[in-house]
Amino acid sequence: MINHLTNLLFPKMCFACEKPIHEKVEDICLNCRIALPRVMQSKNHPNPVEKIFKGRLQLERATAFLRFEKQGKLQSLLHHLKYKGVSSIGLNLGELAAVELLDYNFFEGIEAIVPLPIHPKKVKIRGYNQSDLIAEGIAKVTGLEVLNTSIIKDTNSASQTRKSRFERWQNVATAFKVTTTDKLKHKHVLLVDDVVTTGATAESCGLTLLNVDGLKLSFLSIACTY
C-alpha cells in the first residue's frame, strides 16, 4: 500500500524522455529504447568508429552502439549516469548493447572485457567508474569475464572537453599502466568506454594494453559523436 502511494506521488521517470514509466521498467522506457539512434543499422553500414582508429590503433574490430546527439535522449541518459549517480543506467546500456551486437557476431572470439579505467580520484567523487558498469551489463548477456583491475589510470588528466584532437592525445599519452599481465597475455580482450569523440583516451589505453604479449584488442563504446 505504501509503495503504491509512493509511486502515485513520486512516479518513476524515464531518464531519457523524463516521462513516467511503469514501476517494473528500469531507467529507460520502451519508446526511448527503440528510438535511441543506432550506429550499426545494418551489417553493411559504414562504421565511424573504425575510421577514428584507422592507422592509430591495431584493432580486430570496433564500433559504438549509439550515436550521440546534443540535447538528445542519449545525452540525458549519460548525464544522469556520469553526474547524477544513476549507476543502473550503465548496466542497462551495457545489456542493451550486448543483446543487439550479438546479432552481428561482434563478440565472436573475444575472451574478456576491460573497462576503460578512470583515475581513483574521479571514482571517489563519482562513486563508480561508468565503464565498469557498462562492462558488467555486457558480461551479464555474454558471460565474458570483466578484468577491471588489470590496467589503471595513474595520471589524473585534466578534462578533455574543449581540447583539440592533438591536445586530447597529449593529455592522456602516458596516463595508463598495466598492473598485471597474467589474465591478459595471448587473449582477445574488448576495451569498453562510454563515449568516444576523438578516441585519444581509448587510443592511449589501447596502446598500453597492446604492449602485453600476444594480446589482441577490440573496442566498443556505448556512444560516438560522429
Condensed to tens digits (0 to 9), the pLDDT of residues 127-180 reads: 999 999 999 999 999 999 999 999 999 876 555 455 555 454 455 556 899 999
As a whole-number percent, the residues of the chain with pLDDT over 70 amount to 85
Query: Residue 87 CB: number of other CB atoms within 10 A?
Result: 17
First CA to last CA distance, the chain: 48
Under DSSP, the state recorded for 179 is -
pLDDT at 155: 78
* Integer Cα distance of 130 and 201 in angstroms: 15
pLDDT at 156: 64
Average pLDDT over the chain, rounded to whole? 89
Query: E-assigned strands of 68-163?
Result: 112-115, 145-146, 151-153
29: left (phi over 0), alpha (psi -120 to 50) or beta: beta
Domains, the chain, in order of start with CATH, read: 1-35 (no CATH), 37-224 (3.40.50.2020)
For the stretch 51-92, pLDDT in tens is: 999 999 999 999 999 999 999 999 999 999 999 999 999 999
> What separation in angstroms does the CA of 126 have from each of 133, 166, 178?
13, 27, 23
Better-scored residue on pLDDT, 107 or 43: 107
* Integer Cα distance of 64 and 201 in angstroms: 15
pLDDT at 5: 43
* Rounded to 5°, angle at Cα 19 from 18 and 25: 100
- 201 band by pLDDT with thresholds 50, 70 and 90: very high
pLDDT at 40: 78
pLDDT at 22: 85
pLDDT at 88: 97
For the stretch 39-49, pLDDT in tens is: 976 566 668 89
- 1 band by pLDDT with thresholds 50, 70 and 90: very low
